[in-house]
Structure 1
Amino acid sequence: MSERDLSPDTVEEYFSAGVEAAFTLSESTDSVLEIDPSRQELRLISPALGGDPDVASYEHIRVERINVIGKQGDWFRLTVNATYLHYEAYVLIVSIVDQLESGASFRHAVSESLAGLKGLLSSRRKMSDEKEAGLLGELIVLGHAIDRLGEDQAMQAWLGPYSEEHDFGFEDFDVEVKTTRSESRVHVIGTESQLQPAGDRTLYLLSLQVTLAGASGDGFTLAELITSIRRRIDRARRTFDTALQGLGWADEAADLYVTRFQVRSTPRAYFVDDQFPAITAPRLDQVVPQRILVSAVSYRVDVSHLNFVVPPAPLEDFCEEPA
């Protein structure tokens, strides 16, 4: 088997070996493939003939002109961040080399190959660990709301996918869901509005703790949780699927989510009032000179030792009661 015909398992073996490797993919076009497991990268080295490819819209792909020791002229080095996309990145590079052998310029070969594989590359991307935990927590709360309110009201209350200020807007109060994998209830607050009550509506921070499940029978993956909720909804199925896509979920990448979680403790609810340690726009306005120049506020808050409360329905039986 040639290096142009590697199977997914063989590509994984190269990355698992942990050692950089390089081999010629095409002698006629002088194209070389480099595999760098430490950086999770695949690189294609080829003579820089013609204009530079336009890859500015691709987050995980870059192209640069380099000098190659022992070679004359400029060379292109196309680098693909192959994290969670080892085989897909390899297929992309082989496709480019196939185009080069057919007489295409490097610019055209890259453009055509990216166009052909764009859907595959985008659908196989796994969300970050932080986003995975965040979605996990929202779905746990959504599942409870479906049981208590029914799918229509629960889906209407779920605001997380729509870039609203808070994750849930129930009839009489709002909820910001925060999920952590740490032993303490330390949560990342990503904006100055996340813990800012909307008008006169009451706001609660709902703290969830999850941990790795190992071989526990109570464990579940994010993909399994999504499947479980889909089985409990009917009319709102399309709305649910659209919401998931907006949050970065793709069914085609479900097999990438192999981490099994379990709930570490009973969730706690905290009333966000004037005494809650929140950084909000009104508070910043009072103390920060030239406030207009401050943006992208992000901070951590440890609620482990704060007083927690029982929130209203439908979450009153979901959260821990104070002693």
Structure 2
Amino acid sequence: MTWRLPLKPLDPWEKLGSGEAKRVDVAGRFDFFWVVLEAGMPGLMLRLPELPQPLPRLPKLKNLVTSFRPVSGGSAFVLGLKERSQVQIFETLCRDVVEAGEAGANRNEALSRALQRTRRWYHLLRGGKANGLSVEEQRGLVGELAFLRELVSAFGPETAIEAWTGPTCSAKDFEFIGSCIEVKARRVAAKPFVSISSEDQLADVQGNRLYLRVVNVASAVLPEGQSLHDHVRMTADMFEAEGAAFEAWEETLGSTGYDPENDYDDRRWLLGTANDYEVKGGFPRIASPLENGVENVRYSISLDACEPFKLDGDLIDVIRKGFDHE
């Protein structure tokens, strides 16, 4: 028997010098090229006769760079890899982006599809779910987005997006100077309870007042109304004029597991009334820290038992007062 060494995976950048390019598919309909960028960085380029207007926003990915740049004969969308040790997975990403772009009807659509596929990789690498968010996860996201829109209207995009900390593994959904807010969305016809998923969600935060917002969110499989995608678009529109805030919005949204390519078009979401409660001494909750050996606590609280703690004023005003006493 003759033993053979396993074949080394092909590297499309291996024989390219700095500034050189090689067409990805000689039979391809659009001008996708393997390229070597500055500092020997492997890259993928889609050559364009001119840049689209308005210029699309580019996703920011860890260890990758995305940019529009001038090239001979026009411009190009360029995707580059900063970490050379990840070249194999980067090649897979690039081929997937090219495949998506080649399905476009024209060059502009090829660019749009290439960007969309790049964003899909971004969401996947940030924790997106292949099968999408569950119905209850969608409900929770709709509730948080509704409150986020209130915050943008009251305090502006930068302050609002900085406060939305729940998707990035914080114990509280929103954190401000002097106050923290946990948002819970519930079915309108559900029993008057809300679920608390950890001992930290309603735990005190030193130097801060803690509030619980409970919002009724109805859903149905209907042809009309607002889908999850609609709620996301409404919120995104409030950030688009602010570049840094928009980038933070996209990153935080991606951390929720939302992927724009998942199918959420059939289910419609309707926002109902919202009630706010101050979580303080006597509020129905499991106290933290837990007894030694007790972990992963999940429990429900009765909204009837929360009534004595209902906030009389406006929660936005409470948050604003916290800023005033900074």
Unaligned runs of 5+ residues in structure 2 are: 1-123, 320-326
Q: Alignment identity in percent?
A: 27
Aligned to 2:316: 314
Secondary structure of the equivalent of 2:171? coil
Residues 111-136 of structure 1: per-residue CA shift (max 9 Å, x gap) = xxxxxxxx79x764211222111111
CA distance in 1, matches of 2:287, 2:135: 26
Residue in 2 aligned with 1:256? Answer: 264
In structure 2, how many angstroms separate the alpha carbons of the residues matched to 1:151 and 1:140?
Answer: 14
- Judge conservation of contact 1:168–1:175 (CA < 8 Å) in 2: yes
CA contact (8 A) 2:184 2:214 kept: yes
**Number of the residue aligned with 1:3:** none
**TM-score, normalisation: structure 1:** 0.53
Distance 1:164 1:200, change over 3 A: same
Cα deviation, 1:165-184, whole Å, max 9, x if unaligned, reads: 21111232110101111434
User: 1:230 aligned to 230, 233, 236, which one?
Assistant: 236
Provide the rounded CA distance (Å) in 1 between the counterparts of 2:203 and 2:132.
30
Q: Indicate which of 183, 193, 211 corresponds to 1:186.
A: 193
Contact 1:185 1:207 in 2 (8 A): no
Q: Given the alignment, which residue of 207, 219, 226 partners 2:214?
A: 207
1:178–1:206: 8 Å Cα contact kept in structure 2? yes
Matches of 1:246 and 1:231, distance apart in 2: 19
Instruction: Give the aligned length.
Output: 188
1:240-268 deviation line (CA, Å, top 9, x unaligned): 11111111111111x3352111123x211
Greater alpha carbon shift after TM alignment, 170-179 vs 205-214: 205-214
- SS of the residue aligned with 2:217? strand
- For 2:199, give the aligned amino acid: E
TM-score by length of 2: 0.53
Aligned counterparts of 1:143 and 1:304: Cα–Cα separation in 2: 28
Map 1:35-74 to 2 at 5 A: none
With over 3 angstroms needed to count, the CA separation of the structure-2 counterparts of 1:310 and 1:157, relative to structure 1, is farther
Q: State the match for 2:146 in structure 1.
A: 140
* Other-structure match for 1:156: 162
Q: Distance in 1 between matches of 2:180 and 2:314?
A: 10
User: For the Cα contact (< 8 Å) 2:212–2:278, is it kept in 1?
Assistant: yes
Query: Hey, what's the Cα distance between the residues in 1 that align with 2:274 and 2:207?
Result: 25
TM superposition shift of 1:295: 0.7
Amino acid across the alignment from 1:239 = A
Runs of 5+ in structure 1 lacking a partner?
1-118, 285-290, 318-323
SS at match of 1:252: coil
The offset of 1:161, in angstroms, is 1.4
The amino acid of 1:246's aligned partner reads S
Q: Secondary structure at the match of 1:267?
A: strand
- Runs of 4+, deviation exceeding 6 Å: none
